[in-house]
Amino acid sequence: MTRILIVGHKGQLGRLLFSYPSEHERLGMDLPEYDITDTKATQYALREMRPQIVINTAAFTQVDAAEEHYDLAYRINAHAAGALARFCEELGASLYHISTNEVFDGQRRDQPYDEWDQPDNTHGSAYARSKLAGENAVRFYHSRARIIRISWLFAPQGNNFPAKIVAAADKYGALRVVADEFGVPTYGPDLARAIYQLIDLKAPPGIYHLVNGEKTSRYAFAQEILRVTGREHVPITPISHTEWPRPAQPPLHAVLVNRAAAALGVRLRDWQEALADWVATTGEVHPRP
């Protein structure tokens, strides 16, 4: 039995990893009991728990708020991630670090980003810069880290894109959704399963892109959400990202492709099938008028 510590086990992904059916022993680390920005306390806790594997899901994920609270986002996403990697290296613990498609600038429209593509978002959002710094810190301090990049994460619990679309449709009766931002959704339960597959396969250190199938736009994703939840009667208008101003502009074409994990036999189903599972799990089906 392997002892696995899930950092951020109360979050959207952390809860799924903590409850995933497995024979592994799971431990959790999260606020308010543990604050990973307190590096001395974190180091002490790791020495006490002595995990063999650490999965770091903890992050400052409020993308727009990171523009105003960049110091905090950087402390969590970069400094704390690097310190955690250093402590894992000292203990001989394997590290799986969750990152994001936003480490890419999204300027490449003709093809998706592979695991070996060089990330660059020096002019991107504060969140993106902090996550890229976190990747660099993890690689610097840990010789055998696995960095797992995901995008557009959604799960049965949490304030994610499908949940927001359903709530907005019910509240306003009409939607305007950005049509020129592209990515690949990642379904939390499928992601948790894939991470445990990588663990059980003893996947080599490196970078893995874990996403559900092929690219879509925010608009097309929202259309499918309305359809499968019985809300296709709700009017939805495609708009440009310039018509939906935000403090933090996400990359418009940060489309990931799963090659490294797929080479090991680890694949996630298409996002349309995953979304249908989300609907079945949440019960978010609206009676047609």
The continuous run of DSSP H or E covering 7 comes out as: strand 3-7
For the chain, give me the number of helices (H) and strands (E)? Answer: 11, 12
Q: How many CA atoms lie within 13 A of 205 on its CB side?
A: 11
Beta-sheet pairing, 236-239 with 146-150 = unpaired
C-beta of residue 278 within 8 angstroms of C-beta of residue 162: yes
C-alpha 136/C-alpha 99 separation (Å) is: 11
Active-site residue flag, 127: yes
Q: Is 175 helix (H, G, I), strand (E, B) or coil?
A: strand
The continuous run of DSSP H or E covering 237 comes out as: strand 236-239
Bond prior to 51 in cis (omega within 30° of 0) = no
Indicate which residue of 127, 141, 196, 219 is catalytic: 127
Write out the two tokens for 196.
């445990």
User: Nearest to residue 164, comparing CAs of 177, 180, 148?
Assistant: 177
Active site residues per annotation? 127
